[in-house]
Amino acid sequence: MARRATLKLGFAGDVHDVIVVIPDDEPIPWQWGEQFSVLGKETPRVDGPLKATGGARYSYDIQLPAMLYGAILRSPYARASVRNVDLSEAQRQSGVMAALRVEDDEVRFAGQEVAAVAAVSPEVATEALRHIKVDYAPLPFVVDMDKAMAAGAPKVFGRRSNVGEPHVSVVGDVARGLSEAGAVHEALYTSPVQTHVSLETHGAVASWTDGGLTVWCSTQGVFTVRDDLAVLFDLPPDKVRVITEYLGGGFGSKFGAGAEVVIAARLARMAGAPVKLMLPRAAEHVATGNRPSSSQQVKLAANGNGKLIAIELVAHGSGGIGGGAGTSGPYRSIYPCANLRIEERDVYINAGPSSPMRAPGWPQGLFALELAMDELARKLKLDRLEFRRRNNNHPVRAAEFELGARRFGWAEKSAAAKSSANQSAYLRRGIAVAAGAWHSLGSSGPEAIAVARRDGRFEVRVGTQDIGTGTRTVLAMVAAEELGVPLSAVTAQIGDTRFPFSVPSGGSSTSPSDSPAIRQAAAHLKQKLFRIAAPMLGAEPGDLEARDATIRVRFEPARKVAISEVCRRIPGDSISAEGERVPNYEGFRYDQAGCQFAEVEVDIETGVVRVLKVVAVHDAGLIIDPLTARSQVNGGVIMGVGFALFEDRRLDPQTGLMLNPTMDDYKLPGPLDTPDIDVTFVEVANGVTNTGVLGLGEAAHVCSTAAIGCAVYDAIGVPVRDLPITPDRVLAALGKV
């Protein structure tokens, strides 16, 4: 059964009545102008005290009785056949309890797993690796993308070409667009491989008991790890339990059961004891995923009115022995264009496999697209913001451009830049704007349970995990809002496959996928409480509402009873109700927009770039907690600073080894690199789910690098088209070296 509801949906200045068809047991979606008591208020995260006092237990912190420590031996060769692995001497070492070989006859990158041990201490385990004798036959390899594409290059996968099949898509006719162009710009843009550098490395504590396997795993998907392990060890899924109470970052690299998790489980089974295996930092850099490199040949054409009439992208990228190097997302969706041609290819090299990283393909795609837009704007003699306005058809982004321009002072700063009084002898300031987009509507799948206890406390449970965004907090806030109780009365339990099913935390989908299931469970629980309260109030359950920690008769607020009193009448210890995440409704449906403005200062003597100011304007449907949401945007911007200016995985062409597998040689943005960040949210009521919540982690990051790169161009007058924008590249662009 379904019913129709007329909802007020949209955003400030653009709100409409929209009819939405919703299932009977779904609460009416939250809409524009809703009066919330819990949501939308800056709320410190509920697990903040545990995190700030060191009490939060990450997988890495799990200590079990008689627990052993695992360590992995990795190939020092970028490519080799593994003729023999002799574990015997390692096995004889005092304190070594298990050793195994990873059954691969050929290693394809330096750092690939070859063997592993479990021992009584991390020190003994690491030392035991030196006693494993491996007979390698080194083979020719290639770690440079351009060389991998050349004829006669060593093949990464046997006879298969190093260059994957092209993904081609065509709209209209680019040649015709070009023929009508008032201005054309074409250039090559590149970006390096970026590594995730989650502070908690990949790994797990694995423990076999009663024919089952329990794994405390550093993962963004407890259920995907469960399913992987169930298949690999031929166990029914209910015999595998995966727990992730707290997670020290993931950024897309921690979805399934990686090699280290499987090895930990194998070692634990062999040793008959729990094994903790967390990767050392170097292995984290080389073997657990990365953002592929990109090489993007971009051609843009605009007519005399500044409308884009042709976009062409020919791109290559390498994710090592993995694929997924495409960058075309922004080209297809930011600026509508009648003539579009995309051709992109994965190139394979002997390096660790890629994995999704915070908006896969987008930061590098937008860097190239937006810098090309600015280069074209110069040819058109158009203000860069005006050029974007003319090519934008997203109403939310249009509003965000104007809001951001005011907060940033676009007009004032543009005027100031034209007066030479504002420029010092060696410091050059530049400003820029970049457009963003994302599409985190979430998906059906999650289930949830809401529980009311006789003591007046509430619990909600869902088997999701908190990658650091504050999942426990936002889910508890949603339940508290629905139940009409303060946040302090609700506990959200997550991070365990014994809780109801949920989806992995990827694509910024955690809040949009889980929050509607939680709200539905809370709504169902509320109906059960209404049935208990109805005779207490002499009313029908259908006439009741829950607000201010009371249940009361609608329109007669004086007829009320404290919800704790109602809970006291619960027969037994507690009552519970289930909820499920239903598919998205056809509401008022815009993809997310967003934009960021950046101001940089470039020292033209040293080439050093500093990011001074970023104004970030974003939308993510209903913002549940503006405080934790702002944290996510700050983080998205700062990760963009790193990708723009510092981060670069370097491989040695002679050995295939990573030259900077540390946290000092691999340059990360630190406190002193942090710009002044101004965050503003545009609230959008979308009616897509019962909460209307969208994700923010990726939306907040896609355009940060682009805005910085464009601002450097504005500052020095010449584009630096290769990331990272290091001092040597700035000086080279200026013709000084």
Touching another protein, residues 39-68 (CB under 8 A): 40, 42, 44-45, 47-58, 60-61, 63
Q: How many C-alpha atoms does 286 have within 13 Å on its Cβ side?
A: 29
Q: Are 550 and 540 in contact (CB under 8 A)?
A: no
Tell me the closest approach of the beta carbon of residue 300 to another protein, in angstroms: 31
The stretch among 180-188, 327-335, 468-476, 502-510 that binds another protein (CB under 8 A) is 468-476
Residues 587-626 within binding reach of another protein (CB under 8 A): 612, 623, 626
Tell me the closest approach of the beta carbon of residue 370 to another protein, in angstroms: 21
- 7 DSSP β-pair partners: 18
The answer to whether residue 357 forms part of the interface with another protein (CB under 8 A) is no
Eight-class DSSP state of 156: S
The answer to whether residue 78 forms part of the interface with another protein (CB under 8 A) is no
SS3 529: helix
Residues 297-356 within binding reach of another protein (CB under 8 A): none
The answer to whether residue 96 forms part of the interface with another protein (CB under 8 A) is no
The stretch among 145-153, 193-201, 335-343, 380-388 that binds another protein (CB under 8 A) is 193-201
Please count the helices (runs of H) and the strands (runs of E) in the chain: 19, 29
Structure tokens at 111: 């750092």
Q: What is the 3-state secondary structure (H, E, C) of 635-699?
A: HHHHHHHHHHHCCCCCECCCCCCECCCCCCCCCCCCHHHCCEEEEEECCEECCCCCCCECCCCCC
Q: Are strands 167-171 and 340-346 parallel, antiparallel or unpaired?
A: antiparallel
Closer to another protein at the Cβ: 198 or 690?
198
**Residue from the set 123, 386, 652, 728 that interacts with another protein by CB under 8 A:** 123
Closer to another protein at the Cβ: 365 or 675?
675
**Residue from the set 19, 175, 199, 737 that interacts with another protein by CB under 8 A:** 199
Closer to another protein at the Cβ: 94 or 654?
94
The answer to whether residue 6 forms part of the interface with another protein (CB under 8 A) is no
Closer to another protein at the Cβ: 112 or 194?
194
Tell me the closest approach of the beta carbon of residue 613 to another protein, in angstroms: 8
Tell me the closest approach of the beta carbon of residue 489 to another protein, in angstroms: 18
Structure tokens at 381: 């003699």
The answer to whether residue 488 forms part of the interface with another protein (CB under 8 A) is no
Q: Are 384 and 711 in contact (CB under 8 A)?
A: no
The answer to whether residue 639 forms part of the interface with another protein (CB under 8 A) is yes
**Residue from the set 197, 366, 373, 521 that interacts with another protein by CB under 8 A:** 197
The answer to whether residue 669 forms part of the interface with another protein (CB under 8 A) is yes
Q: Are 641 and 669 in contact (CB under 8 A)?
A: yes
**Residue in 61, 40, 39, 36 with CA at minimum distance from that of residue 50:** 61
**Residue in 581, 578, 575, 561 with CA at minimum distance from that of residue 458:** 575
The answer to whether residue 662 forms part of the interface with another protein (CB under 8 A) is yes
The answer to whether residue 289 forms part of the interface with another protein (CB under 8 A) is no
Q: For 617-650, b where at least 16 C-beta lie within 10 A, e where not — what string?
A: bbbbbbbbbbebbbbbbbbbbbbbbbbbbbbbbe
Rounded CA gap, 228 and 221, in Å?
Answer: 11
The answer to whether residue 650 forms part of the interface with another protein (CB under 8 A) is no
Tell me the closest approach of the beta carbon of residue 679 to another protein, in angstroms: 4
What's the distance, CA 168 to chain centroid?
Answer: 26
The answer to whether residue 523 forms part of the interface with another protein (CB under 8 A) is no
**Number of residues engaging another protein in binding (CB under 8 A):** 76
The stretch among 121-129, 330-338, 348-356, 366-374 that binds another protein (CB under 8 A) is 121-129
Closer to another protein at the Cβ: 268 or 451?
268
The answer to whether residue 646 forms part of the interface with another protein (CB under 8 A) is no
The stretch among 20-28, 116-124, 154-162, 410-418 that binds another protein (CB under 8 A) is 116-124
The stretch among 21-29, 264-272, 439-447, 628-636 that binds another protein (CB under 8 A) is 628-636
Rounded CA gap, 462 and 500, in Å?
Answer: 5
Tell me the closest approach of the beta carbon of residue 368 to another protein, in angstroms: 23
Pattern 671-710, binding to another protein, x per CB under 8 A? xx-xxxxxxxxxx---------------------------
Residues 14-43 within binding reach of another protein (CB under 8 A): 40, 42
Tell me the closest approach of the beta carbon of residue 402 to another protein, in angstroms: 12
Residues 226-285 within binding reach of another protein (CB under 8 A): 246-249, 251, 278, 280-281
Contacts of 424 (CB under 8 A, 6+ apart): none
Tell me the closest approach of the beta carbon of residue 617 to another protein, in angstroms: 8
Tell me the closest approach of the beta carbon of residue 699 to another protein, in angstroms: 15
Tell me the closest approach of the beta carbon of residue 206 to another protein, in angstroms: 17
Tell me the closest approach of the beta carbon of residue 195 to another protein, in angstroms: 10
Rounded CA gap, 395 and 563, in Å?
Answer: 43
- 194 DSSP β-pair partners: 291
Residues 152-191 within binding reach of another protein (CB under 8 A): none
The answer to whether residue 287 forms part of the interface with another protein (CB under 8 A) is no
The answer to whether residue 100 forms part of the interface with another protein (CB under 8 A) is no
Tell me the closest approach of the beta carbon of residue 645 to another protein, in angstroms: 13
Tell me the closest approach of the beta carbon of residue 252 to another protein, in angstroms: 12
Closer to another protein at the Cβ: 228 or 625?
625
**Residue from the set 26, 200, 228, 344 that interacts with another protein by CB under 8 A:** 200
Residues 392-431 within binding reach of another protein (CB under 8 A): 403
Tell me the closest approach of the beta carbon of residue 96 to another protein, in angstroms: 16
Tell me the closest approach of the beta carbon of residue 68 to another protein, in angstroms: 12
Tell me the closest approach of the beta carbon of residue 581 to another protein, in angstroms: 24
Q: How many C-alpha atoms does 625 have within 13 Å on its Cβ side?
A: 24
Closer to another protein at the Cβ: 50 or 582?
50
Q: Are 107 and 114 in contact (CB under 8 A)?
A: yes
Residues 448-467 within binding reach of another protein (CB under 8 A): 466-467
Tell me the closest approach of the beta carbon of residue 293 to another protein, in angstroms: 20
Q: Residue 35, Cβ neighbours under 10 Å: how many?
A: 7
Task: Name the H helices within 344-409.
Answer: 362-380, 384-390, 395-408
**Residue from the set 10, 274, 470, 495 that interacts with another protein by CB under 8 A:** 470
**Residue from the set 258, 636, 687, 719 that interacts with another protein by CB under 8 A:** 636
Eight-class DSSP state of 94: T
Crossing angle, helix 410-418 and helix 395-408, to 10 degrees?
50
**Residue in 57, 96, 128, 70 with CA at minimum distance from that of residue 277:** 70
Q: For 566-600, b where at least 16 C-beta lie within 10 A, e where not — what string?
A: bbeebeeeebbbebbbbebbebbebbbbbbbbbbb
Q: How far apart are the first and last CA of the chain?
A: 72
The answer to whether residue 469 forms part of the interface with another protein (CB under 8 A) is yes
**Residue in 496, 429, 416, 490 with CA at minimum distance from that of residue 463:** 496
Tell me the closest approach of the beta carbon of residue 542 to another protein, in angstroms: 34
SS3 633: helix
The answer to whether residue 220 forms part of the interface with another protein (CB under 8 A) is no
Any idea of the CA torsion for 247, 252, 255, 261, to the nearest 10 degrees? -60
Looking at residue 677, its amino acid is I
Task: Name the H helices within 194-250.
Answer: 222-232
Structure tokens at 161: 């070409």
Closer to another protein at the Cβ: 493 or 631?
631
Rounded CA gap, 150 and 513, in Å?
Answer: 45
Rounded CA gap, 125 and 116, in Å?
Answer: 9
Q: For 120-158, b where at least 16 C-beta lie within 10 A, e where not — what string?
A: bebebbbbbbebbebebeebebbbbbeebbeeebbbbee
Residues in the chain: 737
